[in-house]
Amino acid sequence: MTGRLTEQLGNYLMMRRALGYKLERVELLLGQFIAHLTESGTPDGFTIDDTIRWATAPQRSSWWHAQRMSAVRGFAVYLHAIDPTVPVPPSDLIPGSAQRAVPYLYSDQDICRLLDATGGLRQPFRRTTYRTLLGVLAVTGMRVGEAIRLDVGEVDLDNQVLTIRHSKFDKSRHIPIHASVATALRAYLDERRRCTTLPACPAVFVSPAGTRLLPSNVESTFRILVKQAGLEPRAGRCRPRMHDLRHSFAVATLLDAYRHDGEPTTAMAVLSTYLGHVDPNATYWYLSGAPELLALAADRLQQHQDNQR
């Protein structure tokens, strides 16, 4: 049945991806689960005990165990609809809730220190690539994956617009950029073209070998830059992450709306669309943990209440 499970896994992933889910991690986990069934000598199917043994095998956090079980449970529900004899693990079998990291809000000085740290990277082109990449992330609020997947044909420097295709939940959007960002990208692309040893690659941001950047390499390089920039964790769950450049952009945008007597509600709606959020609640989460923003919101509320009297 293992061969059949592999076939059913392909059908399961195809069905869910048609609904807009990416499922890269789920595909990896379920592939590992099926391989585990084969290696353990139970190729004809699985029991709930099998799922527990596999999900809890790695010596990692209960949250990770719950993630593994969640992947198997989703697949089991699909199989059970086809064959009622397939067992479905209870949803509360392995409790574990994800603890979101506390956003590390970068100051302008922090971002400048990160950009300066790129000067310590070895290859000149690698320095240019990461300086430009981090700068673009800081001033556009793009997801790291969106920047890595960005192709040259999706950059319209004349009209100062980036096109983000097939991002989270398979959504696409246009991002207007400032003239300074267009200038920086034009300079980078000119430098990229001057590197004649680079093979043809559609990606905007490429490695010195001319290949699209790998997320794992980008993350490891960012950790090096954080260390060189001297950025320290502010708490156990508040550590510098690349994704927090997005948080910082969101907070800075709304702070600007408050400080310049803008309309925060309108700014929030525009910001949510700009960031590519399907649900505005996701944008509100990005604004958590910003005391200055909370203080400005409280002042605005107090002014409104005073005007109603």
Of 12, 106, 188, 286, the catalytic one is: 286
Residue 142: partners with Cβ closer than 8 Å, 6 or more residues away = 136, 162, 164, 175, 246
pLDDT at 169: 63
Residue 178 a catalytic site member: no
Of 143, 149, 192, 247, the catalytic one is: 143
Q: What is the pLDDT of residues 74-121, one digit of tens each?
A: 999 999 999 999 999 998 888 765 566 778 889 999 999 999 999 999
Of 246, 247, 258, 274, the catalytic one is: 246
Residue 65 a catalytic site member: no
Residue 143 a catalytic site member: yes
Identity of residue 43:
P
User: What Å distances lie between residue 89 and 57, 73, 77, CA to CA?
Assistant: 16, 6, 9
Residue 247 a catalytic site member: no
Residue 212 a catalytic site member: no
CA atoms within 13 A on the CB side of 22: 9
Encoded tokens for 255: 């702070």
Of 168, 173, 223, 241, the catalytic one is: 168
Q: pTM of the entire structure?
A: 0.68
Residue 304 a catalytic site member: no
pLDDT at 140: 94
Q: What is the pLDDT of residues 118-173, one digit of tens each?
A: 999 999 999 999 999 999 999 999 999 999 999 999 999 999 999 998 777 667 88
User: What Å distances lie between residue 23 and 3, 28, 201, 243, 267, CA to CA?
Assistant: 21, 9, 25, 19, 32
Question: What is the rounded average pLDDT of the residues 185-214?
Answer: 89
